Amino acid sequence: MDIERKILLNPGPATTTDSVKLAQIVPDICPREKDFADLMQGIREDLVKIVHGDLEKYTSVLFCGSGTIAMDVCLNSLLPADKKILIINNGAYSSRAVEICNYYNLPYINLEFEIDALPDLNKIEKTLSENKDIAFVYTTHNETGSGILNPIRKIGELAHKYHTFFVVDTTSTYAMRPINMEEDNIDFCMASAQKGLMAMTGISYVIGNRSIIEQSKEFPKRSYYCNLYMQYEYFEKHGEMHFTPPVQTVYALKQALSEYFKEGEKEKWNRHTRVFEAIHKGLEELGFKDIIKREWQAGLVVTVKYPDDSNWDFNAVHDYCYEHGFTIYPGKIGNQHTFRLCALGAIDADDIEKFFQVMRECLCKLHVKIPVNYNEV
């Protein structure tokens, strides 16, 4: 089968290998069969191994849905009665966590920082010391909206110092940037198959501390389909999801995991870094500016400012690139006009070089001045 290769520079779903795409074509199977439960069991263990978790202490729980389902599950399932969540918020995805809390009426403190700044650890510590009713601290590892990398190890250390646990949205770092549950002070993290693992959309997972999940059996139940303990218990008893899993997507995930281990954690991260650097090089050659300090960027998402040029037209650039096989993505930060280029997926530096040839052609066609112009200094 010949499948046209498309380069996705959006922040997920990622470009996948053909072997992952084709892994979905399997004989029909009822997911209640033991063969399928065995497949699920292996996947659950592999997901914990990627973040170097001890399988006795940590487990993974899978859900059928996009990445937001894992945020929803953690927030609604892990809060005991009469306790609060402390959200460390410097971007769009932590703001989404705040929205989820609002939908469930969960008590929280929204500790906000500028989108282009790292959170202030002193303020986090002060908030923890003044609020003894915080059950857990929640933040986002790589704020995909801007590309900033948050200092999770230090935030987790503070969370633990004040006897709270630490939940991190690692959706846009997991299986890309190396993560270690223990060393990074993480009690719960999460991701979805279509990002770092370069598998298909439709399956997401929470990786977390088994004993806290077991304690959560007694916590208030706020959702039926999205309850962490309920899904965990079913997996432990029956080896499968409580309700119908996305069968073919699970086969793609299995294939993606085997390709992940074959490429290796370090090699894969090196490849993403090559892609990231190629993105920066291409942008610099055209004169584009990004918004997050380079040393604070997570190495996966670059947020680029629109140039000040009356011929610049993001939609026209998008459409031209799309017609030539490259997908670029709008920005996600307040009122600034930005677009994003991301280093996710089964791509390498040569794909980025080809992309910038197309981008240059497009700017010429639109009569956008090169190097691109910015009015401010």
Ligand X SMILES: *Cc1c(COP(=O)(O)O)cnc(C)c1O
Greatest Cα-to-Cα distance within the chain, rounded to the nearest angstrom: 64
- DSSP for 67-112? THHHHHHHHHHS--TT-EEEEEESSHHHHHHHHHHHHHT--EEEEE
340 is in an annotated binding site: yes
Please answer whether residues 189 and 168 qualify as being in contact, where contact means their C-beta atoms are separated by less than 8 angstroms: yes
CA distance linking residue 129 with residue 55, whole number of Å: 32
12 contributes a contact to ligand X by CB under 6 A: yes
User: Per residue in 118-156, is it b (16+ CB within 10 Å) or e — as a string?
Assistant: bbeeeebeebbeeeeebbbbbbbbbbbbbbbbbbbeebb
Q: How far is the CB of 308 from ligand X (least distance, A)?
A: 29
Residues 97-156 that bind ligand X (CB under 6 A): 140, 144
Q: Which stretch binds ligand X (CB under 6 A): 18-26, 66-74, 277-285, 328-336?
A: 66-74
Query: For ligand X, which is the closer residue by CB, 66 or 327?
Result: 66
Q: Which stretch binds ligand X (CB under 6 A): 55-63, 67-75, 99-107, 131-139?
A: 67-75
Tokens of 365: 């066609």
The partner residues of 149 in beta bridges, in order of sequence, read 142
172 contributes a contact to ligand X by CB under 6 A: yes
Please answer whether residues 144 and 96 qualify as being in contact, where contact means their C-beta atoms are separated by less than 8 angstroms: no
Indicate which single residue of 11, 119, 246, 299 sits in contact with ligand X (rule: CB under 6 A). 11
Query: For ligand X, which is the closer residue by CB, 58 or 63?
Result: 63
Q: How far is the CB of 368 from ligand X (least distance, A)?
A: 29
Q: How far is the CB of 96 from ligand X (least distance, A)?
A: 7
Total site size for ligand X, rule CB under 6 A = 13
Q: Which stretch binds ligand X (CB under 6 A): 120-128, 167-175, 267-275, 322-330?
A: 167-175
For residue 224, the tally of other CB atoms under 10 A from its CB is: 8
209 contributes a contact to ligand X by CB under 6 A: no
Q: Which single residue brings its beta carbon nearest to ligand X?
A: 67
Q: How far is the CB of 170 from ligand X (least distance, A)?
A: 8
Non-local (6+) Cβ contacts of 74 within 8 A are: 138, 167, 188, 190, 206, 208, 228
Tokens of 56: 């006795």
171 contributes a contact to ligand X by CB under 6 A: yes
93 contributes a contact to ligand X by CB under 6 A: yes
66 contributes a contact to ligand X by CB under 6 A: yes
Q: How far is the CB of 65 from ligand X (least distance, A)?
A: 7
Query: For ligand X, which is the closer residue by CB, 101 or 362?
Result: 101
Q: How far is the CB of 13 from ligand X (least distance, A)?
A: 8
202 contributes a contact to ligand X by CB under 6 A: no
169 contributes a contact to ligand X by CB under 6 A: yes
Non-local (6+) Cβ contacts of 22 within 8 A are: 1
For the chain, the 3-state helix, strand and coil shares in percent, each to the nearest 5, are 40, 15, 40
68 contributes a contact to ligand X by CB under 6 A: yes
Query: For ligand X, which is the closer residue by CB, 242 or 332?
Result: 332
Q: How far is the CB of 92 from ligand X (least distance, A)?
A: 8
Tokens of 222: 């706020």
> Is residue 329 helix, strand or coil?
strand
- Contact positions toward ligand X, by CB under 6 A? 11-12, 66-68, 71, 93, 140, 144, 169, 171-172, 192
Residue set of the binding site: 340
Residue set of the binding site for substrate: 340
